[in-house]
Structure 1
Amino acid sequence: MNRNIQLKDLGLKDYKETWEYQSELLQGIVDVKIDNRRNNNTNQTQNHFLFVEHPHVYTLGKSGDLSNLLLNEKQLAEKGATFYKINRGGDITYHGPGQIVGYPILDLENFFTDIHKYLRLLEESIILTIAEYGLKGERSKGETGVWLDVGTPFARKICAMGIRSSRWVTMHGFALNANVNLGYFDNIIPCGIRGKAVASMEAELGKKVDVEEVKEKILKHFKVLFEVEEIITD
């Protein structure tokens, strides 16, 4: 098993280009696994972790409801935003500047073969990270992601999650609202859940956070939770 992870920070990058890049990485891993099984080989599979920041974009998961996007094509253009229907789970969400997006492309057979556990550990990595800033992140029953003030009228999501897996290889991931403009969420019904608000670290703390510092903390907790041997910066 290969428990090393190749880390790459893509900076600000178009959503579609990043999606295609993720798909290429996933397919490369799947191809090795297929070859191993067909030819009785033992070649190691790679694991990747991408950090990225996207220009304004709305994405709708494969089971999502298009009516949760409250803008037409003209209004999207006016806001400088794009829209894609994609192949992850979950409903609609927003990505934009000031948001920390993480895409782990892992061969879970290097770690464990349990999608439920994978999602819970992703959530835990964010819960532990924001706790270092004095924010109490929680899970909300029946809903993925990380929330604040669960069980109160003020419940709000600070980190959305949606994934896809093929032959135990993951793609897509999480979006943590760090210094993001929350006004863009007004144009959707986030994750298709009515009556629930969204939050950001900046809004909760009353100041901008150091995004690079937050990324380091996410990786620190991710490495421990997933028992990663080494994170190698590309």
Structure 2
Amino acid sequence: MRDSSVTAERFGVEDLGVMAYAEALGVQREVHAGVVAGERERLLVVEHPAVITLPDRDAVRAHILADSEALGRAGVDVQITDRGGDVTYHGPGQLVVYPIVRLRDHRLNLGRYMRLLEAVVMDTLAAFGVVGHRREGATGVWVEGEGEPVSKVCALGVRIRKNVTMHGLALNVTTDLRHFELIVPCGLADRGVTSLERLLGEGVPAMAEVVSELVSAFDRRLAEAEARA
């Protein structure tokens, strides 16, 4: 799927390949326990088979627009998760990244960490000539394509336990955007969703290139966070 030899100075990088969401969540929990105990911080990269994930709240469940039969026809699973945020979709062609790091080691709190993740994604997009930006009151990274409305290209959702992060970001590279029609993405009914493929067409980078740029950007942004403290 991609080059698993990507390395970084501040953390170990582990490529999980294509892995079911529930299985990857189990891996996250194991790695999280190790990092809490003092093991080296890790960054997990993965693609999931088609799945909708959401916190266990009734108000969020209402953001799944399709019934069980429609989801079955589309081949999309539904999984409850323990992250923050709202309903989202994961699927092939989407780069999912789970950083498992000790916030205190990098002089970060939750708010600064979320802004760091956004900056990492914006750095990654910039490497491919795409300008990403933040939007007030809407966590994630947004872009404007020619003749297109402002659309989200990357969703964020995290959990902090014992000062160590879980979950992370989902960047649409060659994702099948039709599956987002099954939900109200991140609970924002008036916003669109896009991908690098939609923005760049045949110029869309290979997943391995995106992984390499994102890992480098995360390493660099952590170093900057430490230096500012």
Identity percentage over the alignment?
37
Taking the aligned partners of 1:80 and 1:74, their CA distance within structure 2 comes to 10
Taking the aligned partners of 1:6 and 1:110, their CA distance within structure 2 comes to 15
What is the count of residue pairs matched by the alignment? 213
What's the secondary structure of 2:120's corresponding residue? helix
What's the secondary structure of 1:134's corresponding residue? coil
Q: Who is 1:26 aligned against?
A: 32
Query: Aligned Cα RMSD in Å?
Result: 1.9
The AA in structure 2 aligned to 1:10 is: L
| The structure with more radius of gyration | 1
Asked if the contact 2:10–2:219 (Cα under 8 Å) also holds between the matched residues in 1, the reply is no
Asked if the contact 1:147–1:159 (Cα under 8 Å) also holds between the matched residues in 2, the reply is yes
Aligned residue runs from structure 1 range 216-231, under 5 A: 216-227=212-223
Taking the aligned partners of 2:110 and 2:93, their CA distance within structure 1 comes to 28
Check if 1:201 corresponds to 2:207.
no
Asked if the contact 1:45–1:107 (Cα under 8 Å) also holds between the matched residues in 2, the reply is no
Stretches of structure 2 lacking an aligned partner (at least 5 in a row): 1-8, 225-229
Q: Who is 1:41 aligned against?
A: none
Check if 1:117 corresponds to 2:123.
no
Report the CA distance between 1:79 and its aligned residue. Answer: 1.1
Q: Who is 1:175 aligned against?
A: 170
Tell me which stretches of 4 or more aligned residues in structure 1 moved more than 3 Å: none
Q: Who is 1:40 aligned against?
A: none
For residues 161-192 of structure 1, the C-alpha deviation after alignment (integer angstroms, 9 at most, x for no partner) is 00000011000000000011100001100000
Report the CA distance between 1:197 and its aligned residue. Answer: 0.3
Q: Who is 1:231 aligned against?
A: none
Taking the aligned partners of 2:131 and 2:10, their CA distance within structure 1 comes to 30
The AA in structure 1 aligned to 2:207 is: V
Asked if the contact 2:45–2:96 (Cα under 8 Å) also holds between the matched residues in 1, the reply is yes
Stretches of structure 1 lacking an aligned partner (at least 5 in a row): 33-43, 229-234
Comparing 3-12 with 115-124, greater Cα deviation is found at: 3-12
For residues 61-109 of structure 1, the C-alpha deviation after alignment (integer angstroms, 9 at most, x for no partner) is 3556101101222222211111012111110110000001100011112
Report the CA distance between 1:46 and its aligned residue. Answer: 2.4
Q: Who is 2:124 aligned against?
A: 129
For residues 115-147 of structure 1, the C-alpha deviation after alignment (integer angstroms, 9 at most, x for no partner) is 111111111011011112221100011111100
**TM-score, with normalisation over the residues of structure 1?**
0.86
Taking the aligned partners of 1:117 and 1:200, their CA distance within structure 2 comes to 25
Check if 1:49 corresponds to 2:43.
yes
